[in-house]
A and B are shown apart, each in its own frame.
Chain A
Amino acid sequence: MLKYILGRLAGLVFVLLAVSFLTFFLMYNAPGGPFDELNQPLSPEAKANMIRKYGLDQPFYVNWWNWLTKAIQGDFGISYYYPNTRVIDLFARYWGSSLMLGFLAVAWSFPLGVVLGIVAALKRNTVVDQVITTVALVTVTVPIISVIFFGIAIFVIWLKWFGFNNGQPLYHQPPNAWVLPAFIFGLGTVGALTRYTRSGMLDVLGQDYIRTARAKGVSRALVIMKHAMRNMLIPLVTIFGPVLANAITGSTFVEIAFAIPGIGRFFLESIYTRDYPVIIFTVIIAATMLTVSNLLIDIAYTLIDPRVRLGGGH
């Protein structure tokens, strides 16, 4: 187990190195720079000074190496656009709104998706099942920008039930500012979880031990509650990692549309201003969230299901 975890951690380090290198390649070679006229009107001398100060006259891999040696000591640098502000402090300012949005979305959508999936599987091939699977397919596939547009058109502009954000963090806002974004953001998760749970439940229900239990006279309700549910919940663990990672880093469109000051919106702003330290930090945090949550889920999976052996050994 320990050997496996160490191996996975080494892989994780390699992945993060590769991701950061790629990001540096992209942002340093993209046209435009942090000290262009458009972003910061400076005299030519001052601009040259800034470029020398931040090493922007050097190739991207030199900058990557410099960043890396500081980053492993926990120093992620200072924003170019907000002088004298640490990237971490800026991040902390916007992090809360994204976290809140993500957790709200998961909190309503994960349980509902699981329940709908179980109901659909138990009522297989009935009208109930067809309605649930169709609705699930719709919520999974309709692009988020369509959902956002309909949500705003109907609930904000037409019915006037909800409003836009006023630029303050989400957790300082009345429910009227965060109910609709959390609802829209969670919709895709409901559909995905419904489909996933339904097929997992159907798999379990087709197993021999279910038939054996039924043949021995165990009631249908008891078979479902004790034999099917427990085994069906195992695959759900695997999907929770991606869902959580997406919940925390994937709300860019919702943040843009509702003017929520979160990480996704801040990332786009730092793209406009070419604020390199902020860009690389956001990408690395998102990549770390994704990989670490996958690792934790894999470990949790073996603890829950003893049939799974890590790393394919034994």
Chain B
Amino acid sequence: MATQNPPVQGSPLVKAAQGATAYQYKPLSPGQLAWRRFKRNRMALVGLIIVILFIFTGLFAPVLAPYPYDKTNLFNTWRPPGRDPAHVLGTDELGRDLLSRLIWGARVSLVVSLTATGIVVGLALLFGFLSGYFGGVWDYTLNRAFEVIGALPGLLFQILLMLLIGNGIIQVTIAISILGWPGLARLVRAQVLAYKERDFISAARSLGASTPSIMIRHLLPNIVNPLIVAVSFAIPGFIGAEAGLSFLGYGINDPLPSWGKMVGAIGRYLSSPNYLYVGVIPTVALALLVLGFSFFGDGLRDALDPSSDRARI
């Protein structure tokens, strides 16, 4: 709001303002309002901090990791955490430093999940816009793709796909993003359909705006909020999917570490509780990162959509 209503005489607000040296009121942007609502949610803030810490760890993995992730030492295997100052979190069955593998695992997990998110968002925007804006053949194709991909048994199909394209970081990213985009594309399509007949779009068009300009300058801003919320919930899913595939042996290839692979490797040594720490460390990291993202997403949803909670009885 650029102009303001005159304050009502005698209201507490006016008295407070009169008490102050000058009555200042600067209207807040939607982003500032959202941040203000977000800040009130303590869990969401904790989530944001966790996510930032993990992203920092992943970004600077080569600097932070005390050893190369694949450096083995067969004379120093199965060292529990806290015994050896040179290996704070201990070593695994090949004598590899667990802290270093944990740090590199953060990088792998984040690279895979964030790239998959990028792919899925790109495809969703492309097909959502085409189908929502132009309809017809695009709409038909999107719906059929949605049906077929929706009917695929996710994990079984991903394993088959990994079998064909082989293990690796790029391959896993492809396998987990290929099933995720139609749902998001339908979300984009629904938003485009909801807005494309609005007056402000007709106004823009009658003023001579081109179709790409309408899409990017007028429709996209209205799609961003629900898309951000959907994506913040999709990221934990991608992290879990990568970990799951790597756990089964159809994910990241050796010697690159993956938290899922680290959990899977412990399966053979479950007979003794002495080896459990090798699995505990990546499992905790996995749970923490995923929870960080989803608490952050939860707060984001409330912050971006203040009308989501309005029931009264």
Contact = CB atoms under 8 A, between A and B. Distances in A.
A23 B160 contact: yes
B244 interface: yes
A29 B156 contact: no
Contacts of B160: 23, 26-27, 30, 271, 279, 283
Contact of B244 (A138, A145, A202, A223): A145
Contacts of B298: 137
Contact of A27 (B163, B166, B260, B273): B163
Nearest to B275: A157
Contact of A149 (B248, B279, B313): B279
Given A23-B160, A145-B263, A157 B153 contact: no
Given A137-B298, A153-B276, A16 B287 contact: no
A142 B287 contact: yes
Nearest to B267: A257
Nearest to A149: B283
B309 A26 contact: no
A206 B312 contact: yes
A143 B313 contact: no
A145 B273 CA distance: 18
What DSSP secondary structure best describes chain A's contact surface?
A: helix
B94 interface: no
B43 interface: yes
Interface string A272-287: 0000000100110011
A51 interface: no
A235 B283 CA distance: 35
Interface stretch (A34-42, A93-101, A246-254): A246-254
Contacts of B125: none
User: Which one of B155, B239, B260, B310 has the highest number of Cβ atoms from chain A below 10 Å of its Cβ?
Assistant: B155
Nearest to A292: B151
A299 to B, nearest CB: 17
A290 B152 CA distance: 8
B34 interface: no
B213 to A, nearest CB: 32
A26 B164 contact: yes
A287 B147 CA distance: 11
A206 B147 CA distance: 33
B313 A146 contact: no
Interface string B143-160: 010011011110111011
B242 to A, nearest CB: 9
A134 B309 contact: no
Nearest to A18: B148
A146 B244 contact: no
A254 B291 CA distance: 21
Given A146-B286, A256-B248, A291-B151, A152 B270 contact: yes
A142 B291 contact: yes
Nearest to B292: A141
B247 interface: yes
A267 B156 contact: yes
B243 A143 contact: yes
Given A138-B291, A143-B243, A143-B286, A214 B313 contact: yes
B289 to A, nearest CB: 10
Contacts of B244: 143-145, 253
Interface string A110-126: 00000000000100100
B310 A149 contact: no
A14 B291 CA distance: 39
A158 interface: yes
Nearest to B233: A141
B311 interface: yes
Contacts of A27: 160, 163-164
A172 interface: no
Nearest to B236: A141
Among all A-B residue pairs, the 4 with the closest Cβ atoms: A143-B240, A206-B311, A286-B153, A141-B294
19 contacts: A15-B151, A16-B151, A19-B148, A22-B148, A22-B157, A27-B160, A30-B163, A121-B311, A143-B290, A145-B286, A157-B276, A204-B311, A205-B311, A206-B312, A252-B155, A253-B248, A267-B159, A268-B159, A283-B152
Given A141-B294, A271-B163, A286-B153, 8 more contacts: A26-B163, A31-B166, A143-B286, A150-B283, A202-B311, A205-B312, A268-B159, A271-B159
